[in-house]
Amino acid sequence: MAQQRMLKFVTTAKETPEKRDAAVRSHDFDEIYREYAEVKATEQASRCSQCGVPYCHSHCPLNNNIPDWLRLTAEGRLAEAYEVSQATNTFPEICGRICPQDRLCEGNCVIEQSGHGTVTIGAIEKYITDTAWDRGWVKPIKPAMDRPESVGIIGGGPGGLAAADVLRRAGVQVTVYDRNDRAGGLLTYGIPGFKLEKDVVMNRVKQLEEGGVEFVLNCNVGTDISFDAIRGKHDAVLIATGVYKTRALTDPGSDATGIVRAIDYLTASNRKSFGDEVEAFDDGTLNAEGKRVLVIGGGDTAMDCVRTAIRQGATSVKCLYRRDRANMPGSQREVTNAEEEGAEFVWLSAPKAFAGNPVASVTVQRMRLGAPDASGRQSPEPIEGGLYEEAADLVITALGFEPEDLPTLWATEALETTRWGTVKANFGTHATSLPGVYAVGDIVRGASLVVWAIRDGREAGTEIIRFLDGSGRIAAE
Ligand code: FAD
Ligand code: SF4
Ligand code: SF4
């Protein structure tokens, strides 16, 4: 009986894959978690209680059939577990690595609620798909027949790539345009290797390429080719450009050298991991080695900067955040990892001014949490007299991202945007205000998560196929 293998949460303790020792891992960019051994994955999967109403499933943005692939894993039927897992997720090995599971599937696991410790869903999802790659179960993309229609996808991040996968499997001709020299978006140049090794992403890009998806790289739409030209070339277009405009500091002295943007800093570091020459890294501008580093922000990007600086050999790394630990947007798991690696978090603190050029120190304002605002979140407010100086040679700002002004950059005023500047798209169909033009991922949602971009991309791919089945080329404006 299959059930007998399950429900082991009372007798089997939760065990995550082993974490590499902090003293060792903080010197390299390899992922910090080791893989489960098969016996461990099987054992951990068997802890699932096979809930009739699985909250893990309903809180996964992709509605993964989690109890099903956990049961198959517990029964040692890994190839079938992989089939079920990949049916709803284009990149399960990526989500298994970097989803904030504590806020999604695992955070809603009922056995966690009963105090037994969640089923380690993400680690098992990663294990299943890594095994599938190792054993050759990941099938190449081979459409049953080719269709004549073509779709242009602007942006090769997870949103664009998930749509490319759906479209290409249906035989549609797909071209992905990206201004970077490698596809993958923030999976490639934002998220560091210690969370997501680069060959994991490149394997997926290669799979799409080998399946017939054409990549036009180093192509900035709006500069190297116009948006209208892309619309003219394809039967439908998908905008998946993400959000890259960095919120800037406005405090006195914040234009000094030595104060850099997180996206530039992380991109340089990721490029070095690929073995690229990066002038701004090699000349020290974007390299933390031997420096006292201050990172400003409390989200995942700040966390990634902190941990990158440690690996680059900074002499000290501190993270300033204006709220407290309980109210930070970043994942608690990542804070713990960063602390283990030697980072110091200075909660309830914000920069007030910067001295020196290049920057030499920061005046830090101590904060406290005041009354809740309209959203119910307590607003930080300065403590009178609570000022002190913090020495710093490199300041990395990670204050969040905003959308670029696409209608202006692309001279396409008819593309409707929201008051936040994100592209207005229907949340079900992903259709924009322009016929035959769809949009997904961060450019619609604002800075969000990989798993949501994948969901959007899969849905938009399906919707574009419906559009292609029902009508012809995009009507000229
Ligand atoms: P992106 O991944 O941003 O891809 C957009 C692509 O469009 C890029 O390749 C870009 O070059 C291209 N592009 C943009 N404009 C143009 C143009 N005009 N012409 C041609 N190409 C263009 N999410 C998680 O779930 N877990 C994490 O751990 C996590 N960590 C993160 C760490 C960092 C440092 C950052 C910045 C984000 C992190 N995120 C994380 C968020 C996640 O990366 C994004 O939500 C996700 O990548 C959005 O996918 P996307 O496809 O919409 O856009
Ligand atoms: Fe959990 Fe993310 Fe996997 Fe869904 S995709 S099961 S949220 S790790
Ligand atoms: Fe299993 Fe937890 Fe999902 Fe229930 S909520 S089906 S115990 S993983």
pLDDT tens for each residue of 262-299:
999 999 999 999 999 999 999 999 999 999 999 999 99
Task: Give the pLDDT of residue 1.
Answer: 45
CB-ligand 2 contact for 128 (6 Å cutoff): no
Helix 38-45 and helix 66-74: axis angle, to 10°? 130
- Which amino acid is located at 6 in the chain? M
Q: Is the CB of 338 under 6 A from ligand 3?
A: no
- pLDDT at residue 471, as a whole number: 56
Neighbours of 408 (CB within 10 A): 12
Our mutation pick for probing the ligand 3 site, out of 48, 58, 71, counting the most ligand atoms within 8 A of Cβ, is 48
Alpha-carbon distance 437 to 397, whole Å? 34
Q: For strand 378-391 and strand 173-177, is the pairing parallel, antiparallel, or unpaired? A: unpaired
**All residues at 6 or more sequence positions from 406 whose CB lies less than 8 Å from its CB, including other chains:** 222, 239, 241, 412, 415, 417, 423, 443
- Strands 349-355 and 214-216, how do they pair? unpaired
417: DSSP letter: B
Q: Please tell me if the CB atom of residue 185 comes closer than 6 angstroms to any atom of ligand 2.
A: no
Nearest ligand by distance to the CA of 104: 2
Q: Helix, strand or coil for residue 137?
A: coil
Amino acid 332: pLDDT: 84
Does 358 sit behind a cis peptide bond, omega within 30 degrees of 0 on the bond before it? yes
State residue 379 phi and psi, 5-degree precision: -85, 140
Provide DSSP, 374-416: TTSPEEEEEEEEEEEEEE-SEEEE---EE---HHHHTT-TTS-
**What CA–CA distance (Å, rounded) separates 343 from 336?**
9
Ligand nearest to the CA of 458: 1
Whether residue 86 contacts residue 129, with contact meaning beta carbons closer than 8 Å, is answered with yes
Ligand 1 and 177: CB distance under 6 A: yes
Q: Which of the ligands is closest to the CA of residue 55?
A: 3
Alpha-carbon span 286 to 396, nearest angstrom = 9
pLDDT score of 473: 46
Instruction: Single out the residue of 201, 149, 244 nearest to residue 473, CA to CA.
Output: 149
Phi, psi of 62 (to 5 degrees): -95, 5
Residue nearest to atom 7 of ligand 2 (CA): 60
**Are 124 and 476 within 8 A, CB to CB?**
no
Ligand 3 in reach of 124 Cβ (< 6 A): no
Euclidean distance between CA atoms 172 and 437, whole angstroms:
16
Query: What is the number of the ligand 2 atom nearest to the C-alpha of 96?
Result: 8
> End-to-end alpha-carbon separation of the chain, Å?
62
The number of angstroms, rounded, from the C-alpha of 406 to the middle of its chain's C-alpha atoms is 22
Q: Is the CB of 460 under 6 A from ligand 2?
A: no
ipTM for the complex shown:
0.99
Beta bridge partners of 231: none
CB count, 10 Å around CB of 421? 16
Dihedral in degrees, nearest 10, Cα atoms 453, 456, 458, 464: -130
Work out the angle at residue 442's Cα, subtended by the Cα atoms of residues 294 and 198, and round it to the nearest 5 degrees.
65
C-alpha triplet 151, 157, 159: angle, nearest 5°:
65
DSSP state at residue 36: P
| 445: nearest Cα among 455, 437, 435, 436 | 455
The ligand 2 atom nearest the CA atom of 106: 1
Do residues 218 and 179 touch, judged by C-beta distance below 8 A?
Answer: yes
Of the listed ligands, the closest to the CA of 179 is 1
Below-50 pLDDT ranges, the chain: 1-2, 472-473, 475-477
CA of 114 to the centre of ligand 3 (A): 12
State the chain's mean pLDDT as an integer.
94
